Amino acid sequence: MSLKDRRLAELRARIPEVGAEEALRLQRDGALLIDVREDEETATGSPVGALRLPRGFLELRIEEKAADPARPLVLMCAGGARSLFAAEDLTRLGYADVRSLAGGFSAWKAAGLPVETPPQLDSAQRERYRRHLTMPEVGEAGQHRLLRSRVALIGAGGLGSPIALYLAAAGVGRLTLIDDDKVERSNLQRQILHAESRLGQRKVDSGRSALLDLNPTIEVVAHDTRLDAGNVLELLGGHDVVVDGSDNLPTRYLVNDACLRLGVPNVYGAIFRFEGQVSVFGGAAPGVRPCYRCLFPEPPPAEYAPSCAEAGVLGVLPGVIGTIMAAETIKLLLGLGEPLAGRLLLYDGLRGEFTEISVPVDPDCPSCAPGAVVALEDMAAVCGV
d(C-alpha 138, C-alpha 145), whole Å: 9
Q: What is the DSSP string of 140-187?
A: HHHHHHHHT-EEEEE-SSTTHHHHHHHHHHHT-SEEEEEE--B--GGG
Whether residues 266 and 155 fall in one domain: yes
- Backbone phi, psi, residue 85, to 5°: -65, -40
Whether residues 180 and 319 fall in one domain: yes
Given a cut of 80, is residue 210 above it in pLDDT?
Answer: yes
Whether residues 212 and 97 fall in one domain: no
Is 370 within a domain?
A: no
- The pLDDT of 188-200, averaged and rounded, is 97
The number of domains in the chain is: 2
- The pLDDT of 89-96, averaged and rounded, is 94
Q: What is the DSSP string of 267-302?
A: EEEEEEBTEEEEEEE--SSTTSS--HHHH-SSPPPG
Beta strands 241-244; 150-154: pairing state: parallel
Whether residues 84 and 225 fall in one domain: no
Least confident of 35-39, 129-133, 301-305, 314-318: 301-305
Q: Which residue has the higher pLDDT, 287 or 382?
A: 382
Is 142 within a domain?
A: no
Predicted confidence at residue 3, as pLDDT, reads 82
Whether residues 182 and 111 fall in one domain: no
Contact between 271 and 159 under an 8 Å Cβ cutoff? The reply is yes
Task: Kindly report the average pLDDT of the chain as a whole number.
Answer: 91
- The pLDDT of 363-376, averaged and rounded, is 86
Whether residues 165 and 297 fall in one domain: yes
What CATH number corresponds to the domain at position 255?
Answer: 3.40.50.720
Residue 179: which residues within 8 A CB-CB, separation 6 or more? 154, 155, 156, 157, 160, 202, 203, 204, 207, 223, 224
Least confident of 176-190, 245-259, 292-306: 292-306
What CATH number corresponds to the domain at position 40?
Answer: 3.40.250.10
d(C-alpha 162, C-alpha 53), whole Å: 34
- Backbone phi, psi, residue 161, to 5°: -60, -60
Q: Where are the alpha helices (DSSP H) in the chain?
A: 3-14, 20-28, 39-42, 58-65, 82-93, 104-110, 123-128, 130-133, 139-147, 160-170, 203-214, 232-236, 249-262, 292-295, 308-311, 317-334
Whether residues 226 and 87 fall in one domain: no
Contact between 45 and 68 under an 8 Å Cβ cutoff? The reply is no
Predicted confidence at residue 287, as pLDDT, reads 43
CA angle 340, 342, 347 (to 5 degrees): 55
| DSSP 3-state of 232 | helix
Given a cut of 70, is residue 383 above it in pLDDT?
Answer: no
d(C-alpha 186, C-alpha 200), whole Å: 12
Given a cut of 80, is residue 307 above it in pLDDT?
Answer: no
- Percentage of the residues of the chain whose pLDDT score is greater than 90: 76
Whether residues 93 and 156 fall in one domain: no
Whether residues 222 and 153 fall in one domain: yes
In one-letter notation, the amino acid at residue 322 is G
Is 64 within a domain?
A: yes
pLDDT tens, position by position, 46-76: 999 999 989 988 988 898 888 899 999 999 9
Containing structural domain, residue 15: 3-116
Q: Catalytic residue positions?
A: 308
pLDDT tens, position by position, 142-161: 999 999 999 999 999 999 99
d(C-alpha 45, C-alpha 22), whole Å: 20
d(C-alpha 271, C-alpha 346), whole Å: 10
Task: Work out the pLDDT band at 118, boundaries 50, 70, 90.
Answer: confident
Whether residues 200 and 278 fall in one domain: yes
Among candidate residues 92, 116, 140, the one where a domain is terminated = 116
Predicted confidence at residue 117, as pLDDT, reads 87
Is the Cα torsion angle 187, 193, 194, 195 positive or negative in sign? positive
Whether residues 166 and 34 fall in one domain: no
Q: Which residue has the higher pLDDT, 312 or 316?
A: 316
d(C-alpha 299, C-alpha 293), whole Å: 9
- The pLDDT of 108-117, averaged and rounded, is 94
Given a cut of 80, is residue 301 above it in pLDDT?
Answer: no
Whether residues 39 and 154 fall in one domain: no
Given a cut of 90, is residue 29 above it in pLDDT?
Answer: yes
d(C-alpha 184, C-alpha 229), whole Å: 27
Q: What is the DSSP letter of 78?
A: S
